[in-house]
């Protein structure tokens, strides 16, 4: 599995919003400047995060973006599923129940199920708050 730039930048964007939660709505320009990401690229990510309910948007003079939930409730798994789609290592695990005609006889299915479970448990076990806390503990700054 390879995480795309879109997924990595979405994580950095929401991390930035978590760091600046107390400021209320934050402009995309400010996020782009702090994170060194093109504002145009962030504009492509915003609809994905809005659609999945991770982001709150406000238009107008005091407009901008903020997290739709608390930093300790939004996980890396939530963010990556919003931008990457399924995190399944093989296509047959994209649907529940498994619709693959070979599933009942597949001797390697347990390998992919185990990997899928491990990836989801790991990514769902890390919240934005965890990233902030780790960043503070190692250097005061965190790079994704």
Please give the full DSSP string across the chain, using - where no structure is assigned: ----HHHHHHHHHHHHHHHTGGG-SB-HHHHHHHHT--HHHHHHHHHHHHHTTSEEEE-STT-EEEESS-TTT-BHHHHHHHHH----SSGGGSSSS---TTGGG-TTHHHHHHHHHHHHHHHHT-BHHHHHHHHHHHTS----
Instruction: Render pLDDT for 47-82 as a digit per residue (tens, 0 to 9).
Output: 999 999 999 999 888 889 999 999 999 999 999 999
5: tokens are 């730039």
Q: How far apart are CA 46 and CA 143, in angstroms?
A: 21
Q: Which residues contact 84 (CB under 8 A, 6 or more apart)?
A: 3, 4, 6, 7
The model carries a pTM of 0.88
Instruction: Render pLDDT for 81-124 as a digit per residue (tens, 0 to 9).
Output: 999 999 999 999 988 888 888 889 999 999 999 999 999 999 99
Instruction: Render pLDDT for 18-56 as a digit per residue (tens, 0 to 9).
Output: 999 999 999 999 999 999 999 999 999 999 999 999 999
- Go through the domains of the chain in sequence order and give each one's CATH number: 5-85+128-138 (1.10.10.10)
């Amino acid at each position: 599995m390879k995480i795309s730039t879109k997924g990595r930048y979405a994580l950095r964007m929401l991390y930035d919003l978590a760091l600046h939660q107390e400021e209320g709505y934050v402009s995309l320009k400010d996020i782009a400047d702090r994170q060194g990401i093109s504002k145009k690229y962030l504009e492509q990510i915003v609809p994905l995060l809005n659609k999945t309910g991770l982001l709150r948007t406000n238009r107008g003079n005091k407009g901008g973006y903020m997290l739709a939930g608390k930093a300790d409730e939004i996980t890396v798994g939530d963010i990556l599923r919003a931008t990457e789609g399924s995190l399944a290592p093989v296509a047959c695990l994209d649907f529940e129940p498994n619709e693959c005609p070979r599933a009942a006889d597949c001797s390697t299915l347990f390998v992919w199920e185990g990997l899928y479970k491990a990836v989801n448990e790991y990514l769902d076990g890390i919240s934005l708050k965890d990233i902030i806390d780790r960043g503070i503990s190692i250097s005061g700054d965190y790079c994704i």
